[in-house]
Each structure stands twice: as structure tokens, then as C-alpha cells.
Structure 1
Amino acid sequence: MSEELLIKMRSMRGCPVKAAAHLGITPSAITNWKAVPKRFEKKLRAFLDTYKAPKPKSKVYIKWRDDERVILCDMKAAGASNADIALVLKREEISIAQQISFLFRRHGPDWARMLSATTECDLDEPSCPNEAWSEAKIDKEEHRLRSLPLASFRDIIALDAQISLTRHSAGRHA
């Protein structure tokens, strides 16, 4: 198979596996273009001309996948279990902000502090009741967080950790 065909196929989302099924060969044979016999080339070219790549779910979904490896590293470093990580990754139909927010709501401020430490965030926890955020301010910040679906995941982690810690502090000093 020509390298030009392989490059074209690799640029099409989900194509190699579909093409392999269409040609009746293994997906690994398509990964290594030299392993695909030349007699398949005409059939493959016709397939590529008519192939319709599946549409991604959303821009948020794509960004989540792009950031996934880094997020997973931070989550692992923070002590998240595989079950918790799987739970978050399955919620890919909602925004990154909501997924991260969901994690913090589930684990509470201690987990937030651990994760923030892995992302080098500066979190100034209120040391007395006068410095604690009001519930209204916390709610406003949380609303702002949820309205940023494409924000940097590190910004989201920092903001959500701040919300969790201040809410925890406000409750402790109440």
C-alpha cells in the first residue's frame, strides 16, 4: 500500500479499524502499510473516498481526551482510585469543569488539597472566620467555574480546590 494512502487513512478518525474490517484484514496490518498487499490498494482507495468519519461528541469531549493523560497523572498522584477515575472518564458528556467539580464534591477538601499540591496551586486557606468566604461568594465562584467548559484544567482544579477549602474552613469556624 502506498504511504500516501496510509497518511490519508490515519488522518481520518476511526478509519484504520473500519478499513481493516472492510478489507478483511487485521487492523495491525494497516498500521504497517508495507504489510498490506498491493491488491488491496484499489479497494482501499474506494473505501477512503466514501468513508464518513464519526463526528466527535463536542469540542469539550476532544479537549478532555487531549488533557486526559495529564489529568490522570495528577489524579493518580493525588490518590484517586481507579474506580473514581473511571467514573469521571465516563462522564465525558459534561464539561471538564463539571467533571473536576464532581470529583471535588465527591472527595471533599482533603482530596482537593492533595490534588492542588500536585498542580502547584497556591491555596490561601482562611485562618479565621473574618477571612472565610460567604456562602454567596462561594456559590458565585462555583457558578463561574461551571460556566467555563473549555478552561484550562489546572485553572479549574485551582479554583475548585479554593472553593472546597474555603467552604470547609467556613464550616469549621462556624
Structure 2
Amino acid sequence: MNPPEEQKFLDMINGNRPRILKVCRVYAWNAADRDDLYQEILFQIWRGLPGLKQDTYANTWLYRIAINTSISFVRRRAARGGPAVPLDHEQLTHHIESSQTHDDGAEEQLARLYDAIAQLNEVEKALVTLFLEDFSYEEMAEVLGLSASNVGVMLHRAKKKLLTLMQEAAHE
């Protein structure tokens, strides 16, 4: 890669670091896995950057790489016999406490949200992540390779599922 492409890569990563980390947080909860996944996403972005023809699609392209890399990461982990998604509530609570300061009610609600997201399938996780980043249905469709109407239906179902899971967790 030449120096202008390197600068483009650095600018893209610096401008999107919080978004990439959010994707990592959804798919990998312990610090080591998050770091591994983050590095893998950066590597895939680095590899694919020369093929990015139009900067206007850079954010969509970046999300597609981040989500596809994350899904592959989860599948590889499951194939090696590890849990696809860790469901250790103490680990999740520790992660929340160490990453942000919340009051007790917000912390508990955030923990329930992450627990619920962990129970979604891979596409639903991706949809919820993109929804939380304020992507339009069309942008989500482009990232995930679905139709916009399919995104709407699947997102609606994922939200209902999340709500049910969070309500169940609140009553435990």
C-alpha cells in the first residue's frame, strides 16, 4: 500500500473506531477475544481497502467487513469447541463496569440488553448493531446483502425478541 492509501486506512480506522469496537463488543465479550476480533477486522479492512472504489460507500463497506469478520470469528470459535457466545453474567457485568460508569439501574438494564443480544442469531445481532448505529433499512440491506423489506421484517422480529428476552430477564 502506498502512503496515501495508508493515510486513508488510518483515517478510516480512527473515524470509525467506536463503531468497530461496538461490533466487537456484540460478538465477543471477553477482552482477549475482543482484541483478537478487533485486530482481525482491521486486517480485513487493510486487505480490502485497495478494492474500495468509491469513498461514498466506505462506512457501509466497513460495516460489512466488520460484521462478516465477526460472524466468521464466532463460527470458528464454535467449530473449535468453544462457546459461540459467552453467557457468563459476571463477565458481562465486569465488562460493563470496566468500560463505562453507569448508575445501578442503567447498569442492570445494559447487562440485560447485552444478555438478550447474546441470545439472538448472527443476522439479528448484526441488524440490532446497525439499528443502534442509526443505519437506514437500505443501508442495513446493503451491508447484509438483504432486501430493505426483509430487513424491516427481520428487525421488527429481532426487536420483539429482544423485548421478550429483556422482560424475562427482569422477572428472574
Is the structural similarity TM-score above 0.5?
A: no
TM-score (norm 2): 0.30
Report which of the two structures shows the higher radius of gyration computed on alpha carbons: 1
Higher helix share: 2
